[in-house]
Structure 1
Amino acid sequence: MNFKPYHLLFLATTVFFAMAGGAILAPVLPQMVEPLSSTPNEVAQLMAVYTISTAIFSLIIGHFVDRVNRKAVLVPCLVINGLMGLFSFFATDLHTLLILRFVQGIGIAGMMSLVMLMIGDVYKGLDRVHSMGRVSMAIAIGSVTAPLIGGGLATIGWNYPFLFYVMSLPFALLVFLLLPETKECDGSYGGGLGTAVRELRDFRILYTVFLSFAIFFLLFSIVVFLPFMLKDVFGFAAKEAGMVLSIQGIAIIMVASNIKKLAEKLPLIVLIGMGFSLVGISISLIPWAGSLSVLFLLLLVFGGGFGLCQTAIDSQIIQISPPQSRGGVLSIHNTMKYVGQSASPVVLGGILLYFDLHIVFLLSGIFGILVAVVTLAFRKRFVVESNI
């Protein structure tokens, strides 16, 4: 297979666009409340509805993704993402936006699953970890730039951030013309979602899927609720909130660029436990951040922990999932990311109805610390099979 370095760049760019599905809009949510005649809780559902859709369609795509060519799924998903962004720009009410965001989730579902599957097709062992590190860097760059782009476009109008998604349309053409097909036509693939579900009897796979849920639940506790804290405490608008949210991406880039070196020295499961420790502690301390400098430091710690977790979790699931059902397992894995993203604003939003933002961050952080403790306790049950 003639897979060149710039082809990996294509995969990383795809993940960047998928990541932007949430990060672009996050700092703009408070600014959408008035023009859409809604409440902060209702506007937050713009994040939840597309992640719910992505979770559902990740499973649907996972049922047949091991049987078809990768590009036959990836290219249409990129087109859907771009078109829904274009239509959302012209929407004038929350109900229409929610429908468009739900459809957009179909595209996001395929984009995330296919990237990981194609990396599993092409790379082996620590090269997979290295490749996932590059993909995580793309996610981190998205974490830095997407909130800035969204906040910047929102200074023109609340709906202008949706235009960013339109860039998926010309990119889809490049993928169609230049990205090679990675599926091997050897007749060994095609077990469907039922086979993938049965793989969950392997404790390592089941727990790694849970970890995928947990880390994105924690991420969205920051992405969704920090802008409201920034507005209430520091008086920040969308542009300033976007700049603050982008801080974490700097640490993610630093960690992700060195993940292969870290994986050579420590098992992936230990890196995951360390990452959750950093994430949980940093979120727990956010309510006591009395100044922007302290908040920036906590977001850097959070970003470092998230970079460790996200890269190591994705690398681990690729390594331990059987090749014949890898696409289905990865679809379940990615579904749980979006279940985590969807559950975060719903669960924590419910808590916010009865308590304040301080309690929201404190409880979220405690959850992260508990996951870290349990993960490190289970570390002996994981055997990294780098030769898969």
Structure 2
Amino acid sequence: MINQQDVSQRLKSSIKIYRDANLQLIIGITLMAVLGSSSIGPTLPSLAEEFQVSPENIGWVITVFVIPIAIGTPISGILADRYGRKQILVPALLLFAIAGMVCSLAANFRTLIEFRFLQGVGAAPLESLALTLISDLYRGKLLTAAMAFNATSIGLSLAIYPLISGGLTTWGWRYPFLLPLMAVPLSFFVLFFLRIPHRPQSETFELKSYLGNIWNSINNRQVIGLLIAVVALFILLFGPYFTYIPLLADAQLGASHFVIGIILASMALSLAFVSSQLGLFARFLSEVTLIKASFIVYATALIITPLIHNIWLLFLPSILFGLAHGMVFPSTQALLGELAPQEYRAGFMAVNATVLSLGQALGPILAGGMFTIWGMQGVFYSSAIFALTVLIFLNFLLIRLRTSQ
């Protein structure tokens, strides 16, 4: 065990943060969390054909993976605060890997679904505890830089995983389900080499008091403002962007699936690049300023999208979405990590991860409602109004954070 202040001081004085072994292991955990969902898309057509599953039911392969994550993330946060980070992470990584391997051996669709659910149980703690560990280890601008590199890894994985999975699927649908086996060696590295700050363990644990403390830490304008930003950015990303930009490209601009994939990949690469440079931006701009600026960029991208009549010009809003997400996501996570009390930080960050999942779920639903009422253009214009409305709320809710930077 090591002292948190010693970690930050050592990094500032001797090495660049991305070379820190602790951060590299944490990013490995994040990459496993992203792998569980982003590597499956290219296999779905082959799965539907193999098991004679209808298009409306094949989505259960993803749904049953997400359900235990939504339910289990808060529970895993409580357990991690009570028993320790590694005590939850290591078994979770092993379960994630083993269940994934069994999925590759499934003889029927029901077996596949059952073990995808178990894999989701293993994945539940991964993303929130990765964010918790970063918040445990780093403070101040160093925390922002660490969150930025974590977001960079997410951006790159969103671009690379589908390509790897698609290539493996040419050999057979079972091969992409073997990718989670990478979590086995990672679990041993986490167990033996991840160095985390010492946290005094209380001999008694009262759940009611613990939950009350988390609620008290969340129930203030700064945290509420940051959580609003988190849910809003994922509503925008999974609603108008991931759901309706592909539909716009296909229905109105005649784009092929390959071209649509390239356009979506440009967002992920833009996200990765901007996140990798965020540590530099944060030296001159506060995290709150970056958060607010991102919603202006979101609104700009959404306003220009319906005006585009050339498929290749869709790269512009796509890159702008990556720019905005690369600024807002690590900035919100860094500020939430700063505000999370040490003794129940995992539970606090689990609430953050749950809100994130809520945004992912609400995005397509809300955008679908706007499409029903106002059509394709209405999706983007109403989303732009939503982004600017959120900006107004943030300008009010985050004022204290801005003046305390």
CA distance in structure 1 between the aligned counterparts of 2:307 and 2:110, rounded to whole angstroms: 37
Query: 2:370 matched to 1:331?
Result: no
**CA apart distance, 1:281:** 3.1
Query: 2:333 matched to 1:314?
Result: yes
Shift of the 343–104 alpha-carbon distance from structure 1 to 2, 3 Å rule, reads farther
What is aligned with 2:292?
273
- Tell me whether 90-99 or 338-347 shows the greater mean CA deviation: 90-99
Shift of the 48–253 alpha-carbon distance from structure 1 to 2, 3 Å rule, reads same
- Tell me whether 362-371 or 56-65 shows the greater mean CA deviation: 362-371
| Match for residue 214 of structure 2 among 196, 211, 228 | 196
- Tell me whether 324-333 or 219-228 shows the greater mean CA deviation: 219-228
**CA apart distance, 1:137:** 1.2
**CA apart distance, 1:115:** 1.4
Instruction: List gaps (5 residues or longer) in structure 1.
Output: none
Shift of the 66–337 alpha-carbon distance from structure 1 to 2, 3 Å rule, reads same
**CA apart distance, 1:289:** 3.5
Q: Quick one: which amino acid aligns to residue 158 of structure 2?
A: S
CA distance in structure 1 between the aligned counterparts of 2:108 and 2:371, rounded to whole angstroms: 25
What is aligned with 1:87?
102
Shift of the 323–219 alpha-carbon distance from structure 1 to 2, 3 Å rule, reads same
The question of whether the paired residues in 2 share the 8 Å contact of 1:55 and 1:336 is answered with no
SS in 2 for 1:180: coil
SS in 1 for 2:82: coil
What is aligned with 1:236?
256
The question of whether the paired residues in 2 share the 8 Å contact of 1:49 and 1:101 is answered with yes
Query: 2:87 matched to 1:68?
Result: no
The question of whether the paired residues in 2 share the 8 Å contact of 1:154 and 1:160 is answered with yes
Query: How does 1:158-169 map onto structure 2 within 5 Å?
Result: 158=173, 160-169=175-184
**CA apart distance, 1:11:** 0.6
Query: How does 1:359-374 map onto structure 2 within 5 Å?
Result: 359-374=378-393
Aligned length: 385
- Tell me whether 12-21 or 354-363 shows the greater mean CA deviation: 354-363
- Tell me whether 276-285 or 87-96 shows the greater mean CA deviation: 87-96
CA distance in structure 1 between the aligned counterparts of 2:224 and 2:27, rounded to whole angstroms: 26
Shift of the 380–367 alpha-carbon distance from structure 1 to 2, 3 Å rule, reads same
**TM-score, normalised with respect to structure 2:** 0.82
CA distance in structure 1 between the aligned counterparts of 2:192 and 2:339, rounded to whole angstroms: 32
**CA apart distance, 1:328:** 1.2
The question of whether the paired residues in 1 share the 8 Å contact of 2:294 and 2:327 is answered with yes
Q: Quick one: which amino acid aligns to residue 202 of structure 1?
A: N
Query: 2:233 matched to 1:215?
Result: yes
SS in 2 for 1:264: coil
Shift of the 227–177 alpha-carbon distance from structure 1 to 2, 3 Å rule, reads farther
**CA apart distance, 1:135:** 0.9
- Tell me whether 309-318 or 258-267 shows the greater mean CA deviation: 258-267
Shift of the 104–125 alpha-carbon distance from structure 1 to 2, 3 Å rule, reads same
**CA apart distance, 1:318:** 0.6
| Match for residue 177 of structure 1 among 192, 198, 203 | 192
**TM-score, normalised with respect to structure 1:** 0.85
Query: How does 1:1-388 map onto structure 2 within 5 Å?
Result: 1=2, 5-26=20-41, 37=52, 42-91=57-106, 96-158=111-173, 160-185=175-200, 187=202, 192-221=210-239, 222-224=241-243, 226-227=245-246, 232=251, 233-234=253-254, 236-237=256-257, 241-348=260-367, 359-382=378-401
**CA apart distance, 1:206:** 2.2
- Tell me whether 259-268 or 96-105 shows the greater mean CA deviation: 96-105
Residues 232-253 of structure 1: CA deviation (Å, up to 9, x unaligned): 554534x654433221122222
**CA apart distance, 1:264:** 2.8
Shift of the 307–223 alpha-carbon distance from structure 1 to 2, 3 Å rule, reads same
Larger radius of gyration: 2
- Tell me whether 307-316 or 179-188 shows the greater mean CA deviation: 179-188
- Tell me whether 215-224 or 200-209 shows the greater mean CA deviation: 215-224
CA distance in structure 2 between the aligned counterparts of 1:356 and 1:187, rounded to whole angstroms: 56
The question of whether the paired residues in 2 share the 8 Å contact of 1:44 and 1:224 is answered with no
**CA apart distance, 1:324:** 2.3
Shift of the 231–103 alpha-carbon distance from structure 1 to 2, 3 Å rule, reads farther
**CA apart distance, 1:349:** 5.0
The question of whether the paired residues in 2 share the 8 Å contact of 1:204 and 1:382 is answered with yes
**CA apart distance, 1:205:** 1.4
- Tell me whether 62-71 or 226-235 shows the greater mean CA deviation: 226-235
SS in 1 for 2:318: helix
CA distance in structure 2 between the aligned counterparts of 1:231 and 1:97, rounded to whole angstroms: 31
CA distance in structure 2 between the aligned counterparts of 1:36 and 1:344, rounded to whole angstroms: 30
